[in-house]
Amino acid sequence: MKTISNPSQSKWQKLAERPLIKQRKLMDTVEKMFYNIHRKGDKAVLSYSRTFDYAGQQTLAVDAETIAKAADRVPERLKQAIALAQKNIETFHRSQQEEVRKVETAPGVVCWRESRPIGRVGIYIPGGTAPLFSTVLMLAVPAKIAGCSEIVLCTPPDEKGEIHPAILYTAWLAGITKVFAAGGIQAIGAMTFGTESIPKVDKIFGPGNQYVMAAKRSAQFYGVPIDMPAGPSEVLVIADQTCNPAFVAADLLSQAEHGPDSQVILLSDSKQVIKAVNREIDLQLPTLPRQEIAVQALKNSKAILFRDLDDCIVFSNQYAPEHLILAVENPVLLSRDVVSAGSVFLGNYSCESAGDYASGTNHTLPTGGYARAYSGVSLDSFVKKITFQQLSEEGIVSIGNAIETMAEAEQLHAHKNAVTLRLGAVTARQLQAATEITPENSTEEEKKEERDETF
């Protein structure tokens, strides 16, 4: 991991860039595959799957029996861990449910907003070198709470043509019945257009490598929304003299092992801290089964020495990390200056792994600097917010003149007329009511005259 000391602010933007493959070549690959999937459906998806994942693949759908039998291959201890994580994720996401609040914005004008679930959602679960069954929980649990009617899951098969049993078990536990052995660009393309086997979805969720992220961007062009840009994983750690260097090194390596295109960043106001963390990385790295992957990621990573923690937090906001760890003496105080990050971890014991698995927050987060404008997945990601308004006669009168004036100024006379007709109807009814004399609405004097005439 390269160490940089006190870079001038003019260099910060360059330092905040992520490692990327050539985008034009990447998008050309996506468009070619999308074109074939749109035309040939399952045939194209299977062809790509045989090329990139399992050469002998014959079908895409995973049958119910295979899903059910997966439970027998998952150790009981792991089942208990998954159950605990599911409970915490459900608790946190249920807390995001909103009550309907009706507001009278003007006399007789009532407005409110209600949530409606997205119908069919597609979730992509990376499953190549790291079968991310935890992502099944992160996406399926809020989808179920939101009330989505159907959840379609796509995940790549391994070199033997199998899907990791923990992914299938977690899918079953979360109530997912449609699972397909398809990964990468071909999975996103299938959920975008629909094939003979894989249905077209209303929105696509899930993390992935740069190929998956590029495919998700293309899906939007073809009318299928996505959760957010979520590509190669990343973490930024701000550490001062109070940090535990072994903890910091472990957090950096936990993201580096995701993939060779991942990136980890260490910021500190202490040269000694950076040296100590690098020593710990050298000690811990040889013990990791995914050492080769982590080594590749570390080549794209940096440790940067800044003058003080204020500079560290300013750079972090410019970088906008997916995960931000504040391993400092006063993390809560420093966190008040955080304006761009996917998820923040406060203090020496708040490891990023907690958010990845079992604290309850969602680990599907914006990467590549998109945290400057995007939020992580939440319950809101699976619903549409629909606004309602109801105007009485009093309501149209109270705001009608303003609407007419604004519509006329924008030269939208049909808009104005829609109000003018209603105001006219209200005025006419009021005039009619005023001219109608009945025993119920006549004055006392008129009632006396009526009685005198009777006698």
Residues known to be catalytic: 322-323
Q: Identify each DSSP E strand in 270-423 by its residue range.
A: 302-305, 323-327, 343-346, 383-391
The answer for residues whose C-beta is within 8 angstroms of residue 54's C-beta and 6 or more apart is 157, 158, 159, 160, 161, 181
What's the burial of 110, exposed, middle or buried (CB within 10 Å: 0-12/13-18/19+)? middle
Ordered DSSP codes for 57-96 = ---SBPPHHHHHHGGGGS-HHHHHHHHHHHHHHHHHHHTT
Contact 267, 315 (CB under 8 A): yes
The answer for residues whose C-beta is within 8 angstroms of residue 89's C-beta and 6 or more apart is 137, 138, 141, 142, 358, 360, 362
Angle at 154 between CA 256 and CA 199, to 5 degrees: 150
Which amino acid is present at 386? Answer: I
* H-only helix segments in 234-342: 245-256, 271-284, 291-299, 309-319, 331-335
Tokens 């009093």, residue located: 394
Tokens 């009550």, residue located: 99
Q: Which residue, among 45, 371, 34, has the nearest Cα to 223 in the 3D structure?
A: 34
Indicate if the alpha-carbon torsion angle 61, 64, 65, 71 is positive or negative.
Answer: positive
The answer for residues whose C-beta is within 8 angstroms of residue 403's C-beta and 6 or more apart is 415, 416, 419
Q: How far is CA 301 from CA 81, 103, 256, 289, 418, in A?
A: 32, 50, 9, 20, 61
**120-141 as b/e, with b when 16 or more CB fall inside 10 Å?**
bbbbbbbbbeebbbbbbbbbbb
Tokens of 91: 């608790």
SS3 182: coil
H or E segment and range at residue 113: strand 109-117
